[in-house]
A and B are shown apart, each in its own frame.
Chain A
Amino acid sequence: MTYMPGEKPYPLLSVRNLSKFYGKTMGCHEISFELGKGEVIGIVGESGSGKSTLLKCIAGRLTTTNGSIFFNSSYGFIDLCRTDEMLLRKIIRSETGFVTQNSVEGLRMTVSAGGNIGERLMAGGMRHYGQIRKIARQWLETVEIDAKRMDDLPSTFSGGMQQRLQIAANLVTDPRIILMDEPTSGLDVSVQARLIDVLRKLVARLSLSMILVTHDLAVARLLSHRLYVMKDGRIVESGLSDQILDDPREPYTQLLVSSILKP
């Protein structure tokens, strides 16, 4: 997967030597990887390994200290770290999706479920109420939320429903890349299973391109084609998901894999 600048065809995303420091504290350091279209990458590692920092840099939610994030956007193959803010926000808003662990961050809790799904459509210029409703209804059904709940506030939803609503609100404009930050954390196991199932179906049906940050290796295996293992802000090992989980080479990966409880 060596890729030289200017070479075609471009990958969907090419992160090069990305570093993020919080003052003197390192968030992530010299991260390089690529994501192809229709590919799901899992980033695993324990809390504080820098995986969420990395994801937030790609999502434009943190400014990077060094390096580049090339994204194959509808405006061309551009470095998100060196794009003017107006274009950056436009691309982030319409061509990327971000699902967070904490749905309070990812949803407008005072706006109905339908309004949450509709916002991206309206931001994109859709001005037909009936059409917005129709699309919102379809997406609620896709993520297995009863369409009758369309006018209810997300605060009346369970944790799992909120996460599924977040996914619908992000996917509604068909973004080129989906970024997920621990989407299954903090959910009961049975609720998790449903969320993972919904995600799995969406990945298969829509050929989603996705970066999934998780500390749950089972989730990572199930959804990702490839895995990157992070420790102390750096990538220590990467490869096909089954290679990393079944044949880990690095001491840290071996520790991580051997630490899982198998029921």
Chain B
Amino acid sequence: MDPILNIINISKDFVFHHQEGIRIKVLDDFSMRFFPGQATVLTGPSGSGKSTLLKMIYAGYQIPEGKILIRHKKEWVDMAKALPSLVYEIRQHTIGYVSQFLRVLPRVSALDTVIEPLIARRMETGKAEQKGRQILERLRIPENLWHLSATTFSGGEQQRINLARGFVAPYPLLLLDEPTASLDPANRKTVMDLIREAVQDGSCVIGIFHNRSDQKELADRVIDMSPNMTSQPSSQALEV
């Protein structure tokens, strides 16, 4: 099977100019391929570059070295070089990214926040709202909150709004940054179900999970990002 994502020799360091120019190397010559219908769990201590890797794949962080090739509408696109308009299109259709934090907007209802990815795909509003209601229900958001802005919601509610938004539309590649952190058991199970369903439907999932049992439950593959563990055999990289 062809991979959907092929990461080739990426490196990443952060320089903090206002803190005596400290340079922190987070990723060093990292290469890896990812396939549809596969769930990969990233492990490693904090600071080992798990989140950085996800953000680089999403092009939320700059990609100074190496290639991140993603299959978008049957074409290979290097996220490091893609035009901004293409990056936005890829984010709309191909890569989903879910963190545990919601960027809440005042005056926008929870339902509208959730269905935004569908509206961006030009789905008809009625149909999008129907899907939005289904997922809000599944994540146990009380119906009387749906039409309120999430600014006033509790942290847990905001997190679930964010998850609903992340899972309302299918993506061939789904990046999850601790989606289950601090969820109650019932909602945690729902989110795990949602992830499994996505994988079954052919999505490639790359996730960071704090909880070891979550890791075990989902992982088709575990990648330990600890320093000295990340050097991948270059044969894994697919040249295109």
Contact = CB atoms under 8 A, between A and B. Distances in A.
Interface of A: 1, 36, 38-39, 193-194, 197, 200, 204, 222, 225-226, 239-240, 242-243, 246-247, 249-251, 254-255, 258
A243 B61 contact: yes
7 contacts: A197-B106, A197-B108, A200-B105, A240-B87, A243-B60, A254-B18, A255-B18
A36 B88 CA distance: 13
Given A197-B105, A249-B15, A251-B18, A39 B60 contact: no
Nearest to A253: B17
A200 B85 CA distance: 18
Contacts of B17: 250-251, 254-255
B73 interface: no
B42 to A, nearest CB: 18
Contacts of A249: 15, 62
B55 interface: yes
A240 B86 CA distance: 11
Contacts of A222: 105
Nearest to B63: A243
Interface in B104-133: 105-108, 119-120
Nearest to B59: A240
Contacts of B60: 240, 242-243, 246-247
Given A204-B119, A247-B14, 6 more contacts: A1-B84, A193-B107, A240-B84, A243-B59, A251-B18, A254-B17
Contacts of A226: 84
Given A193-B106, A254-B18, A255-B18, A239 B62 contact: yes
Contact of B107 (A197, A242, A247): A197
A200 B108 CA distance: 10
A84 B75 CA distance: 45
Given A197-B108, A222-B105, A246 B84 contact: no
B55 A247 contact: yes
B3 to A, nearest CB: 24
Nearest to B88: A225
A222 B113 CA distance: 13
Interface string B204-217: 00000000000000
Nearest to A244: B62
A246 B55 contact: yes
Contacts of A250: 17
Given A194-B107, A243-B60, A258 B18 contact: yes
B107 A243 contact: no
A247 B60 CA distance: 8
A254 to B, nearest CB: 5
B16 A254 contact: yes
A193 B149 CA distance: 12
B83 interface: yes
Contacts of A39: 84-85
